[in-house]
Copies of this chain bind each other. A is one copy, B any other.
């Protein structure tokens, strides 16, 4: 199977590890054996002006995934929204009402569907590719999350080079490593069977340190500075 997935992650943090805003939406093409991405793209947000309600993220992810999918023609698109793998093009009000999710979740999806349903329907009519809201169960969504963390590290390097220093928080249980010419990211959850990613990046002249976020167990923090 060839699957495109997208996710948003990585946060700019204050000195006290308080989140300021999210940084990177990544879309990935994942193919067998489903351990990393064959291709990845990123769209950076402005963490200093970020809508933390979560609605913006799902929209950004859907639009970026569709853009990548029109290029690489996967069989299906996976979105990080756990509503049982429903096809987004089928999300009319009665279908949303029938989902076994919270009332709050239903309100969010009634709102999201206004933009995402036409997007999904058009893609499906023109290419036969479906968008499914499969969420946490999807390995490609997790790989997209890992890439959002790698791109967050890339953003942090560029920010540190310009402003001297930065602290970012990575997505859940993953680590990154700055290597010459590239950034490698890996899941820290051994149960996932070895998920990882790599992105080219200019890492020269940057010092860095990775350590556990003291306030949020199982999340790592990356500090980067100009040397």
Contacts and interface: CB of A to CB of B under 8 A. Distances in A.
Contacts of A140: 214
B35 A217 contact: no
Interface string A174-209: 010000000000001111111100000000000001
Interface residues of A, number: 37
B136 A217 contact: yes
B35 A212 contact: yes
A63 interface: no
Contacts of A215: 134, 137-139
A129 interface: no
A211 B35 contact: yes
A59 B30 CA distance: 40
A78 to B, nearest CB: 9
B188 A188 contact: no
A139 B193 contact: no
A193 B214 contact: no
Q: Quick one: which of A17, A212, A213 has the most chain B CB within 10 A?
A: A212
Interface of A: 1, 3, 16-17, 30, 32-35, 134, 136-140, 142, 172-173, 175, 188-195, 209, 211-218, 220
